[in-house]
Amino acid sequence: MPELGLIIEVVLIFIKVYIVGMILFMLPLPLTWLERKVAGRIQVRLGPHRVGPKGLLQPFADMVKLLLKEDIIPDKADRFLFKLAPLLAMIPAFAVFVAIPVGDTFTIPGIDYVFKLYISDMNVGVLYVLAIGGLGIYGIIFGGWASNSKYSLLGGLRSAAQMISYEVALSFAAIGVVMMSNSLSLVEIVKSQGGGFWNWNLFYLPVGPVWFLIFFIASLAEINRIPFDLPEDEGTLGSGFHTEYSGMRFSFFMLAEYIAMVTISVLAVVFFFGGWMPPIDPATFGIKVPAQIMSVWGIGWFIAKVVVFIYIFMWIRFTLPRYRYDQLMTIGWKILIPVSLITVLVTGLMRIFLT
């Protein structure tokens, strides 16, 4: 008979997984609305405004439409892979969130139970996130291959090449973060940035901003967003790997894409912007604030930072045109990777001589 504590722990983990899963499933609804509103604003138009107040119910209308659509599988498609691909794209996007902390711990007052605000604090969290996040590419490649359409295949190939090129730079950026924070665990990385915004990795001068830029550019390419969204380049490829998909399967791809955007925003916040740490910590001024309030306050900051990042991703999407394929490769191999190698060196020397 296992102890009661262990059972409670396991049940709690199930509940947390369920809550996180539900939130992630629901996230694309506000995000599509937001994206279309942002697009409208930037293009001096209104965006959705007819369904519900301010168009807020538009995503539900879209959802109903997608659910009711016929689910077409092309005649010559590889049926098994075709059905598997959307799931392969979606599941890793969800799985990444196992390692992501939204806060440290919350001590429930009265019973003194320490509630962890993350599902699991892996000691190799960074590696896990990068590895699982990288798996999503299989969905895209399979989708491109199984559709038996040249446009889909080209989209799939492009995204494979792009992922391989930029995964390197992204991993380097992660290495930089690990060096700056001295840990591979995401919780530890955030904790090392506590105490005020000048302790954030972004302000680890002079290398912090460089790492952030490398991370940001590489992650834009990783999640296939403009200016690096060549895999779904409407102008030349129809819509790339999901050209042949419709209905629910298509929406799985969309879901995966939005969640990838959230993941990258969360990672940027955790790596460089101090996660749930508020920019100015009252403790540095000797003001005592109860720990419970601090953790709730921290979650607020975490969400605020993530929302800002999501906005920035959308903002960039409607500002920049798309890169050409050779430019994409040039940026990846000839600029990002050499720069990150140099920055690794500088960061290493700083760690040796400054600490």
Partner 1 sequence: MSEKCKAKLINFVKKSVFADFIRGLYITFSYNFEGAMTLKYPDSEKWIPYRRFRGLHTLNKNSEGKELCVACELCSRACPTDCITVIPEENDAGRGIADRVAKVWEVDLTRCMFCGYCEDACPTTAVRLGREYELACTTLERGTRSRDELLLPQPVPEALTGGVVAKARFIRSADGIKVVAELGKVRQRKL
Binding site for partner 1 (CB under 8 A): 40-46, 49-50, 315-316, 318-320
Cβ burial, residue 67 (10 Å; 0-12/13-18/19+): exposed
Q: Provide the minimum distance between the beta carbon of 124 and partner 1 in the complex, in angstroms, as a whole number.
A: 33
Q: Which is nearer to partner 1, 90 or 221 (by Cβ)?
A: 221
Q: Tokens representing 194?
A: 């506590």
Q: Which is nearer to partner 1, 19 or 320 (by Cβ)?
A: 320
Q: Provide the minimum distance between the beta carbon of 268 and partner 1 in the complex, in angstroms, as a whole number.
A: 17
Helices (runs of H) and strands (runs of E) counted in the chain:
13, 2
Gap between the Cα atoms of 312 and 9, Å rounded: 37
Q: Which is nearer to partner 1, 26 or 341 (by Cβ)?
A: 341
DSSP track, 24-70: HHHTHHHHHHHHHHHHHHHTTS--S-SSSGGGTTHHHHHHHHHHHS-
DSSP annotation of 97 reads G
Cβ contact 32:317 at 8 Å: no
Q: Provide the minimum distance between the beta carbon of 198 and partner 1 in the complex, in angstroms, as a whole number.
A: 22
Gap between the Cα atoms of 28 and 251, Å rounded: 10
Q: Which is nearer to partner 1, 297 or 311 (by Cβ)?
A: 311
Q: Which is nearer to partner 1, 182 or 319 (by Cβ)?
A: 319
Q: Provide the minimum distance between the beta carbon of 312 and partner 1 in the complex, in angstroms, as a whole number.
A: 9
Q: Provide the minimum distance between the beta carbon of 45 and partner 1 in the complex, in angstroms, as a whole number.
A: 4
